[in-house]
């Protein structure tokens, strides 16, 4: 069968499906090809299912705090019981709901979802292996949105006890002990969740710190949590081998002093980064240049081949769903004739650890490196009534604003603390609008909410915070 369309999107993750919906809204005849379920890594086996597991784990830990004598005057004499199978089924129900939601949105936008694996013959034509046979699709414009996959360590490929984040989100039984290689975004988010569920966790991290994108001050509350919950973190440690005997896998690693060490677990989660999916779909048959492992694009997401566009994890860091979606929307609009460019002031990032971290723009050290003289305004959640009233002020969290010293224009906002992920929108908005400390301090923030900490941090930057003494 042969099909023709104006826009062909390959990959229905948060980059591709958003591009397709926007193209459909703009009246462009659009086909989107997906080899798995619509929603991509983010919705099917990444952001959403991990947030469901993280939420369930936090609930379990909170309920556990009420065991015995309890707290807040609430006690659960026998404590909570965990049924991992039911937890995973609940998580799946959320994934199913969102997956069918995406399919419906595509249909309502007039987009055809072609389920199957696409292989390009040339820049504008691909063959799609569907359940009903091969379909050849020719398009005027192609949007590549094939995403990324977990990186494997060559000496311990995925399989058996060695798992990636995908399997970690499907475990129907709680491991007794989880050894995690790589204390980055995924390792820490999942490791903390599994610890909350009662599993022992041990980290092996090659660098001399966890989450290298954030500075020591921001990471302190997380390190404190890991210490308090007896999670060993071996820094400067490189995994070298893994041997499985029976149900137990022993990971061999060298510690910071170069000495050989061992860590044993019944599961080993490898979270050492992700790499773009550039293989197995005929990229070599297209005249598209690479930039290292990524597809090279310009600020409009144009590849080196005319009318072939690429977005999301495929085109580089940061590998974040919201960046992919923003690029997808933009490309659809450019194809429809709009003048657009991908030029955000900053792309916010959140790590859903305990507590959560938000980062948007420059840290004080990065600003200094860029030659910017700064003013720093900081406000601790321990001084926020709302935070204390919801047990969010006990983990040493804070909001920190970095502004230019000469005109108070904000160049970076960082926060660590329970629930701070939900402040990320206001932070990103402030940066994108070019706000100064005075703009934030002069905006009336609702009392009592956690957002007051943002206004107070701006006041602190101006030298006159109200609820914290100098």
Q: Residue 456 interacts with ligand NAI (CB under 6 A)?
A: no
Contact status, residue 237 vs residue 204, Cβ threshold 8 Å: yes
Among the residue ranges 81-89, 170-178, 254-262, 344-352, the one whose residues contact ligand NAI (CB under 6 A): 344-352
Contact status, residue 139 vs residue 118, Cβ threshold 8 Å: no
Angle at 53 between CA 48 and CA 55, to 5 degrees: 95
Contact status, residue 75 vs residue 66, Cβ threshold 8 Å: yes
Q: Residue 350 interacts with ligand NAI (CB under 6 A)?
A: yes
Query: What is the bridge-based pairing of β-strands 248-254 and 260-265?
Result: antiparallel
- Sign, CA torsion 327/333/334/335: positive
Torsion, CA 429, CA 430, CA 432, CA 434, rounded to 10: 160
Exposed e or buried b per residue across 333-363, where buried means at least 16 C-beta atoms within 10 angstroms of its C-beta: bbbbeeebebeeebbbbbbbbbbbbbbbbbb
The distance in angstroms from the start CA to the end CA of the chain is 73
Percent of the chain that is helix, strand, coil (3-state, to 5):
35, 30, 40
| Shortest distance (Å) from residue 148 CB to ligand NAI | 7
What's 423's DSSP letter?
G
Q: Residue 424 interacts with ligand NAI (CB under 6 A)?
A: no
Task: Single out the catalytic residue among 322, 429, 447, 464.
Answer: 447
Residues 241-300 contacting ligand NAI, CB under 6 A:
271-274
- Residue with structure tokens 């099909």? 3
Q: Residue 326 interacts with ligand NAI (CB under 6 A)?
A: no
Q: Residue 346 interacts with ligand NAI (CB under 6 A)?
A: no
- Exposed, middle or buried, 90 (CB in 10 Å: 0-12/13-18/19+)? middle
| Residue 319 or 455 with smaller CB distance to ligand NAI | 319
| Residue 41 or 408 with smaller CB distance to ligand NAI | 41
Q: Residue 381 interacts with ligand NAI (CB under 6 A)?
A: no
| Residue 68 or 212 with smaller CB distance to ligand NAI | 212
Q: Residue 238 interacts with ligand NAI (CB under 6 A)?
A: yes
Q: Which residue from 204, 326, 357, 401 is in contact with ligand NAI, where contact means CB under 6 A?
A: 204
Q: Which residue from 315, 320, 410, 411 is in contact with ligand NAI, where contact means CB under 6 A?
A: 320
Residues 184-203 contacting ligand NAI, CB under 6 A:
184-187, 189
Backbone angles phi, psi at 372, to 5 degrees: -100, 125
Q: Which residue from 40, 182, 412, 417 is in contact with ligand NAI, where contact means CB under 6 A?
A: 182
C-alpha to C-alpha distance for 38 and 12, rounded to whole angstroms: 5
Q: Residue 232 interacts with ligand NAI (CB under 6 A)?
A: no
| Residue 297 or 349 with smaller CB distance to ligand NAI | 349
Among the residue ranges 7-15, 88-96, 314-322, 447-455, the one whose residues contact ligand NAI (CB under 6 A): 314-322
Q: Which residue from 128, 222, 319, 418 is in contact with ligand NAI, where contact means CB under 6 A?
A: 319
Contact status, residue 239 vs residue 253, Cβ threshold 8 Å: yes
Q: Residue 302 interacts with ligand NAI (CB under 6 A)?
A: no
C-alpha to C-alpha distance for 435 and 433, rounded to whole angstroms: 5
DSSP string, 166-232: HHHTS-SS--SEEEEE--SHHHHHHHHHHHHTT-EEEEE-SSSSSSTTS-HHHHHHHHHHHHHTT--
| Shortest distance (Å) from residue 182 CB to ligand NAI | 3
| Shortest distance (Å) from residue 409 CB to ligand NAI | 26
| Shortest distance (Å) from residue 82 CB to ligand NAI | 23
| Residue 120 or 225 with smaller CB distance to ligand NAI | 225
Torsion, CA 13, CA 16, CA 18, CA 21, rounded to 10: -120
| Residue 57 or 239 with smaller CB distance to ligand NAI | 239
| Residue 21 or 272 with smaller CB distance to ligand NAI | 272
- What is the chain's Cα-based Rg? 24
| Shortest distance (Å) from residue 160 CB to ligand NAI | 19
| Residue 347 or 462 with smaller CB distance to ligand NAI | 347
Indicate if 55 belongs to the active site.
Answer: no
How many residues bind ligand NAI (CB under 6 A)? The answer is 27
Q: Which residue is nearest to ligand NAI (CB)?
A: 184
> Residues with Cβ < 8 Å from 348, sequence gap 6 or more?
322, 358, 359, 360, 424, 425, 427, 428
Residues 142-181 contacting ligand NAI, CB under 6 A:
153, 181
Q: Which residue from 94, 105, 109, 206 is in contact with ligand NAI, where contact means CB under 6 A?
A: 206
| Shortest distance (Å) from residue 149 CB to ligand NAI | 10
Residues forming the active site: 447
**Contacts with ligand NAI, residue ranges (CB under 6 A):** 153, 181-187, 189, 204-207, 212, 238-239, 271-274, 318-320, 349-352
């Amino acid at each position: 069968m042969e099909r023709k369309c104006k826009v062909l999107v390959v990959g229905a993750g948060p980059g591709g499906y958003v591009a397709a919906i926007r193209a459909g809204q703009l009246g462009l005849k659009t086909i989107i090809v997906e080899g798995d379920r619509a929603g991509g890594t983010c919705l099917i086996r990444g952001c959403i299912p991990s947030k469901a597991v993280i939420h369930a784990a936090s609930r379990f830990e909170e309920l556990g705090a009420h065991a015995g004598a309890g707290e807040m005057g609430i006690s659960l004499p026998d404590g909570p019981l965990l049924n991992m199978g039911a937890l995973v089924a609940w998580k799946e129900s959320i994934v199913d709901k969102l997956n069918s939601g995406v399919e419906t949105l595509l249909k309502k936008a007039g987009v055809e979802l072609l389920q199957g694996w696409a292989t390009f013959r040339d820049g504008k034509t691909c063959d799609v292996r569907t359940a009903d046979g091969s379909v050849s699709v020719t398009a005027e414009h192609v949007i590549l949105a094939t995403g990324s996959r977990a990186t494997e360590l060559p000496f311990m490929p995925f399989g058996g006890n060695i798992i990636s984040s995908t399997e970690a989100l499907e475990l129907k039984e709680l491991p007794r002990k989880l050894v995690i290689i790589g204390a980055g975004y995924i390792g820490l988010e999942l490791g903390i969740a599994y610890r909350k569920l009662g599993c022992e966790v041990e980290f092996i991290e090659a660098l001399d710190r966890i989450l290298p994108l954030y500075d020591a001050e921001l990471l302190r509350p997380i390190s404190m949590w890991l210490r308090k919950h007896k999670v060993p973190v071996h820094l400067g440690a490189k995994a070298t081998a893994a041997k499985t005997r029976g149900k137990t896998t022993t990971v061999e690693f060298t510690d910071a002093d170069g000495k050989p060490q061992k860590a044993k677990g019944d599961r080993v989660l490898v979270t050492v980064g992700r790499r773009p999916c550039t293989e197995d779909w005929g990229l070599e048959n297209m005249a598209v240049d690479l930039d290292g492992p990524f597809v090279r694009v310009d600020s409009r997401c144009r590849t080196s081949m005319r009318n072939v566009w690429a977005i999301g994890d495929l085109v580089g860091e940061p590998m974040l769903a919201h960046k992919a979606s923003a690029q997808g929307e933009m490309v659809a609009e450019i194809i429809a004739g709009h003048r657009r460019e991908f030029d955000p002031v900053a792309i916010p990032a959140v790590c859903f650890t305990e507590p959560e971290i938000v980062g948007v723009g420059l840290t004080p050290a990065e600003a200094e490196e860029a030659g910017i003289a700064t003013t720093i305004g900081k406000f601790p959640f321990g001084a926020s009534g709302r935070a204390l009233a919801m047990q969010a002020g006990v983990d040493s969290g804070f909001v920190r604003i970095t502004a230019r010293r000469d005109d108070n224009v904000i160049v970076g906002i960082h926060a660590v603390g329970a629930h701070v992920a939900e402040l990320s929108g206001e932070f990103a908005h402030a940066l994108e609008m070019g706000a100064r400390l005075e703009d934030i301090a002069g905006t009336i923030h609702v009392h009592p909410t956690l957002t007051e900490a943002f206004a107070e941090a701006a006041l602190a930057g101006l030298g006159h915070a109200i609820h914290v003494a100098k």
